[in-house]
Structure 1
Amino acid sequence: MTNPVTPPHYIVRKISRIRELRGINQDTLAIKLGTSQQTVSRMEQSETIDDEKLVEIAKILGVTTEAIKNFSEEAAINNYNTFNDHSGDNFLGSNCSFTINPLEKLIEVVDENKKLYERLLQSEQDKIAYLEQMLKNK
């Protein structure tokens, strides 16, 4: 059993914020952790997390454990602004350990919409087949 880590500024709140910024909900994190959404919710409300769980969560979120430990809203905003500042070499000189890939998020949303559309289309095709069958029986 590992010793719980009690980092400053409640590391689990940092995990929660990074999860939100990455567009990952508690259900998705729970599935990837092999646990329930309620367990993730309780974890995010606690004050400690063990080292093994932190490593596992960092991997799922696509960041390092150090990025989680050192995460701050101000740093995230500054890194975002730096990435969007094309006036100088700040982007190339940035030492950011936490990035958000909007393209990945867009692809994920498009895939979800495509699956939804396919289910709706199949439902409509099933309705049409059923109605055609009803007409034949009359």
Structure 2
Amino acid sequence: MTTSAKSNHIGRKISRIRELKDMKQEALALAMGTNQQAISIIENSDTIDYEKLKEVARALGVSIEAIENFSDEAVFNIISNTVNNHDSASSNSIFQYQPTFNPLDKVIELYERLVQVEKDKNVFMEKLLKEKKE
């Protein structure tokens, strides 16, 4: 048996948004100027008054409408579409990448710097050996 009634448990929506933002109840409580127990009560409430909802939305950095219309399915759809689009875009961009410099020139430059460092190190070591012998 399936139910087509959509859950409108506002506290659960607040909890999910908070979790998606990787925020603990204590952090939300601090942002709202209250304590963790008050946040727990809000998240277990089926409904909350408009002023409290406005305060929660401000602390979470989302709109009231985002809380009221939140659904896990929408989040999963957004993530799925974003990941799929990003994957295809990034794989295409690998083949289209054209550096503004010659990579071989950079390798030669790094090699020359490495050789110079080794030469400087040898000069320094020879100087130390001469000082030690004197």
- Shorter-chain TM-score bucket reads 0.5 to 0.7
Question: 1:52 deviation in Å?
Answer: 1.1
Corresponding residue for residue 62 of structure 1: 61
Greater radius of gyration (CA): 2
Match of 2:109 in 1: none
Q: Once the two structures are superposed, what CA deviation does each residue of 1:21-44 show, in whole Å capped at 9, x if it has no partner? A: 101110000011111101111111
Which structure has the highest helix share of the two?
2
List 4+ stretches of structure 1 deviating above 3 A: none
What RMSD in Å do the two structures reach over aligned CA positions? 1.5
Question: What's the offset of the Cα at 1:85?
Answer: 2.1
Could you list the runs of 5+ residues in structure 1 that have no partner in the other structure?
Answer: 1-7, 89-138
TM normalised by structure 1 equals 0.55
Aligned residues: 81
Take 1:74 and 1:25, find their aligned partners in 2: how far apart are those partners? 22
Letter paired with 1:11: I
Alignment of 1:42-53 (within 5 A): 42-53=41-52
Q: Once the two structures are superposed, what CA deviation does each residue of 1:74-104 show, in whole Å capped at 9, x if it has no partner? A: 000001112212248xxxxxxxxxxxxxxxx
Q: Which residue of 1 aligns with 2:77?
A: 78
Aligned residue type for 1:60 = A
> TM-score, structure 2 length as denominator?
0.56
